Amino acid sequence: MGAYTDFHRRSIADRESFWTDEARRIHWHRPFSQVLDYSKPPFAKWFVGGQTNLCHNAIDRHLAARGDQPALVYISTETNTEKTYTYRELHTEVNRCAAVIAAQGVVRGDRVLLYMPMIPEAAIAMLACARLGAVHSVVFGGFAAASCASRIDDAKPKLLITADAGLRGGKAIHYKPLVDEAMRLAKHPPKNVLIVNRGIDKDFKPVPGRDLDYAEETRKHADAQVPVTWLESSDPSYILYTSGTTGKPKGVQRDTGGYAVALASSMEHIYCGKPGETMFTTSDVGWVVGHSYIVYGPLIQGMTTIFYEGLPIRPDAGIWWKIVADHKVSVMFSSPTAVRVLKKQDPAYMTKYDLSSLKHLFLAGEPLDEPTHRWIHDALGKPVIDHYWQTETGWPILSLAPGIEPAKVKYGSPGYPVYGYDLKLLRETDATEAGPDEKGVLTIAPPLPPGCMTTVWGDDERFVSTYFSDFPGKLLYSTFDWGVRDKDGYTFILGRTDDVINVAGHRIGTREIEEAVQAHSNIAEVAVVGVADPVKGQMPLAFAVVKDAKKVEAEADRAQQEKEVLAAVDRQLGAIARPKRVYFVTLLPKTRSGKLLRRSIQALAEGRDPGDLTTIEDPTALAQIRAALGVK
């Protein structure tokens, strides 16, 4: 990996000239005068003095050369629709939407909360916010009303945009009642809700004076031309909430210029997507992957992006490969869970379609186990590149970079440090560098490269105390992931160092689930751990102590309590956080100082040794966990 090693070295040793070159990939309304302002560590300001705009870079800039090229192809196997927007058409729609948003009084710096299914209006609204310099905060549609409400209260949006309903596997998910509930729960609800009425919810009733109909409003602004608002490079582009160890998700704040440059650069060097080609990212716009590689990345690069609403196996397990063949997809991005789902299907689907256009398949979001990596690599006959990153970074931390050097894949590894990242694998005890094959905590020596989070929304102090305080006395960004590096420089991820779990690529804090379980009136205390799952990677398991033990004495009562607790989690967080099981115990294993022994519980649930138990307060607590799980 000689060429890449040099490339990476230059990105760290000669940071300013490296990023000056990369910054040429985007349009600057006003050129920057300073590449990096790092006068207030760990806060980094990239491309100081420069003015740009994400929407301009994603759409307007391409109009002259590729106005008639498809920009976004919406494919829904839920409604059996396919709709193509050329760059010109997308420009028109974004202008209309921007005019509607502006008419609600939204100006530069105001927040707009999006709670949307996978419909093109989600991308259009994101781009429209970017055009106005408004800060969007997309909340994944699978989150419950209470989660949506807490994000409303943190971001204090001026407007909420939603739809009547989403569809999943043919089943309607009604957003409107969830939004009504979230608006009721929020302390700072926005005045208006703009609703895309898809006609799915037959009982749809707008709230007079509050709800606005998207079709009607955009009709009023059919010919709108909304000028781009030029932003300072470090002005926020969006907030995206993500889970950590506390019950309160953090608003990851992203800048404008650094993000645009990082995306444009990664499209070239990592994803190898060329203007005019097609990218298919199977995520949801509610996640960081959707922000970076369904919406902004491919459009900034002048590609066609596939915007897919549906499941990977409906109408059959060949649907994604059919899309690749029909649209000559050259770059595809998906998740290990999706691949594990496909692995269980008839392998004939993998060879049914002409996949000759496809250069690489990228996977991220959760650990990719070696057998699955090998299987999909062989089944596709294409390089499958596992790459590792976080909501916080916005683009890859570890990856191969086939745009710089042909990819030499090692199964089970997301490759080597991405340029721009000064990555260190540190011993937990003294922050010294781990040797080859020795486990360490993956950390980034700041400044974080362009594109990464710039702070926690509204809470600079939390940015520092959360991410830069893992190694006392040293200002280092912790990823909270364990890793190990082999002698060839390939890193392998060994799981989180904190209490965050990963369910089918969805990142959830066990604290959040515990708080949701405790919302049930009969729960006194609970421990939630993530246990290995063959398809979803991990699943939450809950061990709860009840207040009234009589309610869990008989088997039928226990089943009823479990059902109620699961319903409480659905209500607070959404079904994605629902534990696989809730076990009732009278005592939880804790240290003498009262710390929950989550790792020991997790080990028992995964059939492993519970480890050092010398600090346990009452050993019978573990015996109860064993009994509940039916293990010896």
Residue 242 engages ligand PRX in binding (rule: CB under 6 A): yes
Work out the angle between the directed axes of helices 120-132 and 87-103 (0-180°, nearest 10). 60
Q: Is 131 in the site for ligand PRX (CB under 6 A)?
A: no
Site string for ligand PRX, 378-417 (x = CB under 6 A): --------xxxxxx----------------------x---
- Nearer to ligand PRX among residue 302 and residue 414 (C-beta): 414
Residue 53 or 292 with smaller CB distance to ligand PRX: 292
Q: Minimal CA–CA distance to 98: which of 123, 124, 122, 136?
A: 124
User: Which distant-in-sequence residues (6+ apart) come within 8 Å of 163 by Cβ?
Assistant: 116, 117, 119, 121, 175, 176, 195, 196, 197, 198
Per the structure block, which two tokens stand in for 584? 């009732």
User: What is the C-alpha to C-alpha distance for residues 392 and 173, in angstroms, rounded to an integer?
Assistant: 29
As measured in angstroms, the least distance from the Cβ of 33 to ligand PRX is 32
Decide: is 537 part of the binding site for ligand PRX (CB under 6 A). no
Q: Tell whether the torsion through CA atoms of 285, 416, 267 and 332 is positive or negative.
A: negative
Q: Containing H/E element for 526?
A: strand 523-533
Based on CB atoms, which residue is closest to ligand PRX, 63 or 445? 445
User: Residue 372's Cα: distance from chain center in Å?
Assistant: 21
Interface with ligand PRX in residues 166-195 (CB under 6 A): none
What type of residue sits at position 541? L
What's the rounded Cα separation, in Å, for the pair 632 and 625?
10
Least spacing, CB of residue 391 vs ligand PRX, in Å = 3
CB of 393 vs ligand PRX, minimal distance in Å: 8
Beta bridge partners of 543: 527, 583
Q: Is the Cβ of residue 211 or residue 366 nearer to ligand PRX in the bound state?
A: 366
Find the binder of ligand PRX among 493, 526, 544, 597 (CB under 6 A): 493
Min separation Cβ 240 and ligand PRX, Å: 9
Q: How far is the CB of 88 from ligand PRX (least distance, A)?
A: 32
Q: Considering the complex, what minimum distance in angstroms separates the CB of residue 394 from ligand PRX?
A: 9
Q: How many residues bind ligand PRX (CB under 6 A)?
A: 21
Q: For 166-173, which contacts have Cβ atoms below 8 Å and span 24 or more sequence positions?
A: 166/116, 166/117, 166/118, 166/119, 166/141, 166/309, 167/76, 167/78, 167/79, 167/117, 167/200, 167/309, 168/78, 168/311, 169/78, 169/311, 169/314, 170/78, 170/314, 172/200, 172/201, 173/117, 173/141
Query: Nearest to ligand PRX by Cβ — which residue?
Result: 391
Site string for ligand PRX, 494-533 (x = CB under 6 A): --x-----x----x--------------------------
Please, which residue, 364 or 456, has the CB nearer to ligand PRX? Answer: 364
Question: Would you say 43 and 23 are in contact if contact means Cβ atoms under 8 Å apart?
Answer: no
Nearest to ligand PRX of 87, 416 (CB atom): 416
Q: Which is nearer to ligand PRX, 388 or 421 (CB)?
A: 388
| Segment 282 to 321, residues that bind ligand PRX, using CB under 6 A | 288-289
Picking from 139, 144, 170, 115, the residue whose alpha carbon sits closest to that of residue 575 is 144
Pairing of β 111-115 and β 159-163: parallel
Per-residue x/- marks for ligand PRX, 459-488, CB under 6 A?
A: --------------------x-x-------
Counting DSSP H helices and E strands in the chain, the numbers are: 20, 32
**In whole angstroms, how close is the CB of 421 to ligand PRX at the nearest point?**
14
State the burial class of residue 7 (Cβ atoms within 10 Å of its Cβ: 0-12, 13-18, 19+): middle
C-beta of 85 vs 287, nearer to ligand PRX: 287
Site for ligand PRX in 132-151 (CB under 6 A): none
Beta pairing, strands 500-503 & 506-509: antiparallel
User: Could you say which residues in the range 559-588 bind ligand PRX, by CB under 6 A?
Assistant: none
68 by Cβ neighbours in 10 Å (0-12 / 13-18 / 19+) ranks as exposed
357-376 positions binding ligand PRX, by CB under 6 A:
364-368
CB of 107 to ligand PRX, least distance (A): 30
Q: What is the largest CA-CA distance in the chain?
A: 72
Nearest CB to ligand PRX, comparing residues 52 and 242: 242
User: Toward ligand PRX, which CB reaches closer, 62 or 387?
Assistant: 387
Q: Strand, coil or helix: what is 331?
A: strand
Q: Where are the alpha helices (DSSP H) in 162-279?
A: 175-185, 214-220, 257-269
Q: Which is nearer to ligand PRX, 76 or 266 (CB)?
A: 266
Distance CA 406, CA 550 (A): 64
Q: Find the shortest distance in angstroms from Cβ 424 to ligand PRX.
A: 16
Closer residue to ligand PRX, CB minimum distance, 66 or 387: 387
Identity of the residue, 299 or 364, whose beta carbon is nearer to ligand PRX in the bound complex: 364
Tokens standing for residue 352: 């049914």
Hey, which residues between 47 and 106 contact ligand PRX (CB under 6 A)?
Answer: none
Q: How far is the CB of 419 from ligand PRX (least distance, A)?
A: 17
- Residues near ligand PRX (CB under 6 A): 242, 288-289, 364-368, 386-391, 414, 479, 481, 493, 496, 502, 507
